[in-house]
């Protein structure tokens, strides 16, 4: 289970540019559930994922993952618990290293051993099998540098990487936004099968209302660093994109002029 209690993140505190990115966010996510996160630009979505990943430590509040208090633990100390896939296919993997080396690094996340044992024969076969399962032909390119792959291929490998260290939490930060529609669809299918198979607790940030409703079982909306909407169950099942926008307007009492929210 993930638990976020009264989390506050303020950037540039005490300066003219001070910005409260998260304003006392509270959230509990059951183990194995898939939550989609929407909200206009600057709402605090990436900041929330960063707080869960440990890239940003909140100034107030508490974060618990799988019963462990990780509030003050930086990324490296929760690496075995949380995996993240970014919008930019170049982020989250190492371009100059081969596919195989990237997989080995991902496998070692959160473990206290050198890289050597992770590239032994058995492990190599396992990595190759996992990449072959993508059906992109990348199993024949295991020694190729990651930066030779297309954006979609790289996101597919990144998703496999996210599953290798046994992390229980998967954070997806607009991970299909930079892909063409066909590849985005493929990556979402892959995401769903990985999440279902590995039973990872998943949070997916998206600007697509369609994606937000089509995937997962719960949708939260952030605005101004606060959760302004949290829908699941029957009230979400028959919800349409238009309903979501109407709810947003009702809650905030303002018009929604962010076209990005309507995409998809
Ligand atoms: N490192 C930082 N330094 C200063 N301000 C920041 C920093 N990171 C984020 N912010 C600000 O905090 C607010 C929340 O940013 P965040 O990236 O979480 O929004 P978001 O909902 O992910 O937006 P987008 O959809 O545009 O990616 C924004 O006003 C942003 O400019």
Does the beta carbon of 43 sit less than 6 angstroms from any atom of ligand 1? yes
Looking at ligand 1, which atom is closest to the CA of residue 49? Answer: 18
Structure tokens at 44: 């605090």
Within 10 angstroms of residue 239's Cβ, the number of other Cβ atoms is 16
In CATH, the number for domain 2-94+169-262 is: 3.40.50.300
What's the CA-to-centroid distance between 220 and ligand 1, angstroms? 17
Is the predicted ipTM greater than 0.90, yes or no?
yes
Query: What's the pTM?
Result: 0.90
Does the beta carbon of 15 sit less than 6 angstroms from any atom of ligand 1? no
What's the CA-to-centroid distance between 22 and ligand 1, angstroms? 10
What is the residue extent of each domain of the chain? Answer: 2-94+169-262
Does the beta carbon of 39 sit less than 6 angstroms from any atom of ligand 1? yes
* pLDDT per residue rounded down to tens, the chain (264 residues): 999 999 999 999 999 999 999 999 999 999 999 999 998 888 999 999 999 999 999 999 999 999 999 999 988 888 789 999 999 888 889 999 999 999 999 988 767 655 555 566 888 999 999 999 999 999 999 999 999 999 999 999 999 999 998 899 999 999 999 999 999 999 999 999 999 999 999 999 998 888 999 999 999 999 999 999 999 999 899 899 888 888 777 766 655 555 445 444
> Nearest C-alpha to atom 7 of ligand 1 is from which residue?
11
Helix (H), strand (E), coil (C) string for the chain: CEEEEEEEEEECCCCCCCEEEEEEEEEEECCCCEEEEECCCCCCHHHHHHHHHCCCCCCEEEEEECCEECCCCCHHHHCCCEEEECCCCCCCCCCCCEHHHHHHHHHHCCCCCCCHHHHCHHHHHHHHHHHHCCCCCHHHHCCCEHHHCCHHHHHHHHHHHHHHCCCCEEEEECCCCCCCHHHHHHHHHHHHHHHHHHCCEEEEECCCHHHHHHCCCEEEEEECCEEEEEEECHHHHCCCHHHHHHHHHHHHCCCCCCHHHHCC
């Amino acid at each position: 289970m993930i638990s976020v209690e009264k989390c506050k993140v303020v950037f540039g505190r005490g300066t003219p540019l001070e910005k409260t990115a998260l304003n006392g966010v509270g959230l509990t996510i059951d183990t194995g559930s898939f939550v989609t996160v929407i909200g206009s630009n600057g709402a605090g979505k990436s900041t929330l994922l960063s707080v869960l990943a440990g890239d940003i430590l909140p100034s107030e509040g508490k974060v618990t993952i799988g019963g462990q208090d990780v509030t003050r633990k930086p990324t490296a100390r929760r690496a075995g618990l949380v995996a993240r896939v970014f919008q930019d296919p170049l982020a989250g993997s190492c371009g100059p290293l081969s596919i195989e080396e990237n997989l080995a690094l991902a496998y070692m996340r959160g473990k206290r051993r050198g890289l050597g044992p992770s590239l032994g024969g058995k492990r190599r076969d396992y990595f190759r099998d996992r990449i072959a399962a993508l059906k992109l032909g990348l199993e024949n390119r295991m020694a190729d540098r990651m930066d030779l792959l297309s954006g979609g291929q790289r996101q597919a490998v990144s998703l496999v990487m996210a599953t290798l260290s046994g992390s229980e939490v998967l954070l997806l930060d607009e991970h299909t936004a930079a892909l063409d529609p066909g590849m985005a669809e493929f990556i979402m299918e892959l995401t769903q099968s990985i999440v279902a198979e590995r039973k990872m607790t998943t949070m997916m940030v998206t600007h697509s209302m369609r994606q937000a409703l089509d995937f997962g079982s719960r949708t939260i909306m952030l605005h101004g660093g606060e959760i302004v909407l949290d829908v699941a169950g029957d009230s979400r099942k028959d919800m349409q994109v238009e309903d979501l926008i109407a709810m947003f307007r009702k809650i905030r009492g303002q018009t929604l002029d962010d076209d990005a929210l309507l995409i998809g």
